């Protein structure tokens, strides 16, 4: 699986993003969504989180050094109907809202995004929603109208590194 858009490290002023993925050797099966697992078919799980603007330097260093996900600091989820539209509504229906938005097409539309850094994790899932080992990650930034980043206080530092660009 490959994320076609947005590209890793993309920067945009629009507060909406159309995510498109290319799936290889896997059949998306809308008619079997929520059903029994069948080899080589299922759906997609999109998980969008906003990376916190400012973090404690110790927490940032711990995230960067983590063997479980280099540079990850998980922030607010955008997998709710007000951000992910019909996919977010489906997430609410199946109980995954705030965790991931399911999809039976290789795309999703997120809107009403605030300026900041975002991390999107995409997983292939079996018909019953359980994940497969196949995933892709992309990071992107929504620019503020001023063009400036966060003004961190109290010893906190901007968490640009936490978005894991590169």
Condensed to tens digits (0 to 9), the pLDDT of residues 146-155 reads: 656 667 788 7
Decide if pLDDT at 12 tops 50: yes
Beta-carbon count within 10 A of 86 CB: 12
**Residues 100, 105, 110, 116, Cα dihedral to 10°:** 70
DSSP code at position 127: T
Q: How confident is the model at residue 159 (pLDDT cuts 50, 70, 90)?
A: low
First to last CA, the chain: 19
pLDDT at 16 over 50: yes
Task: Of 121, 102, 124, 119, give the one whose Cα is nearest residue 23.
Answer: 124
Tokens of 88: 């977010």
165 confidence band (pLDDT: 50, 70, 90) = very low
Residue 44 · residue 106 · CB < 8 Å: yes
Q: Is 130 helix (H, G, I), strand (E, B) or coil?
A: coil
With a cut of 90, say whether residue 37 has pLDDT above it: yes
Phi and psi (nearest 5°) for 10?
Answer: -60, 145
pTM tops 0.75: yes
Place 81 in a pLDDT band, splitting at 50, 70 and 90.
Answer: very high
């Amino acid at each position: 699986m490959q994320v076609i858009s947005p590209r890793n490290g993309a920067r945009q002023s629009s507060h909406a993003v159309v995510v498109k993925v290319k799936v290889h050797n896997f059949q998306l099966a809308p008619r079997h969504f929520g059903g029994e697992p069948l080899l080589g078919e299922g759906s997609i799980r999109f998980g969008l989180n906003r990376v916190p603007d400012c973090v404690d330097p110790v927490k940032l260093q711990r995230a960067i050094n983590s063997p479980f996900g280099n540079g990850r600091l998980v922030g607010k989820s955008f997998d709710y109907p007000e951000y992910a539209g019909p996919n977010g509504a489906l997430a609410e229906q199946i109980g995954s809202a705030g965790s991931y938005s399911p999809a039976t097409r290789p795309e999703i539309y997120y809107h009403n995004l605030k300026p900041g850094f975002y991390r999107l994790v995409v997983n292939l899932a079996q018909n019953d929603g359980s994940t497969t080992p196949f995933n892709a990650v992309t990071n992107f930034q929504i620019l503020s109208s001023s063009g400036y980043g966060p003004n961190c206080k109290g010893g906190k530092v901007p968490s640009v590194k936490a978005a894991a660009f590169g």
